Structure 1
């Protein structure tokens, strides 16, 4: 086993960076969805949702940066083109979503996809002794589970 300067297995680190790039692509789609629903939301709940969606896209933007920087820390190159993001994203694309229920549903569905990827990365980062990636994924998962709970409560649904 060959270790990198972080003391991590190079092969496992490269695999983790690939998975982080998939997460990055999906987060970029999620971020763009949030921008779109922020701009296009209509109806009686506009003022509350407009502010909430801005809060969420600001947070998503910070996470995009953190993911890209983690990929760089692991010695790899983050994806950075819309072509790459589109090719690797499984998060549903929300086009012209302006209805409140559909916008909140898009957030729940997007976060559910992100959680699948993050849990896979969490398992691999644990196995690779990569505490930096592991900690990041744990934090993301905790926050996103809470957001799903809140959004589903808003939709009058249970988790």
Structure 2
């Protein structure tokens, strides 16, 4: 059984050339990129951007922690410098001549009444051999006593 054929459509009447709309000229269309590839590129680009941002955050965190350590070291240096200045002041006070004289007198030292200065050109005479006590080069008892009173320091005052 065959189905009845639909009635043929009425033939179109051809329009005259003046009434026909003009068509644009035909051109070659480039092939379309599949949508899956576009999504893949967008996804990879987004992941790449977030990875770069995460890397930048990690680098900044490292820089901040390094700066914190530098600040800590700088404060320790400042404290050590301050302490060093205090110690230098204390050393200067302890080395002052007035303090040394005061400490010496407190320990029982006395200032000599007569100070004998020696010039660098004078050399003390060498001691005489034990058998020649009265020879010219041997020190007399008076000179030996002066040397002992001076503390053997040549009579210089400290």
TM-score range, shorter chain: under 0.3
State the structure with bigger RCO (CA 8 A, min sep 6), 1 or 2.
1
Instruction: Kindly indicate which of the two structures has a greater share of residues assigned to helix.
Output: 1
Q: Please, what TM-score do these two structures have when normalized by structure 2?
A: 0.21
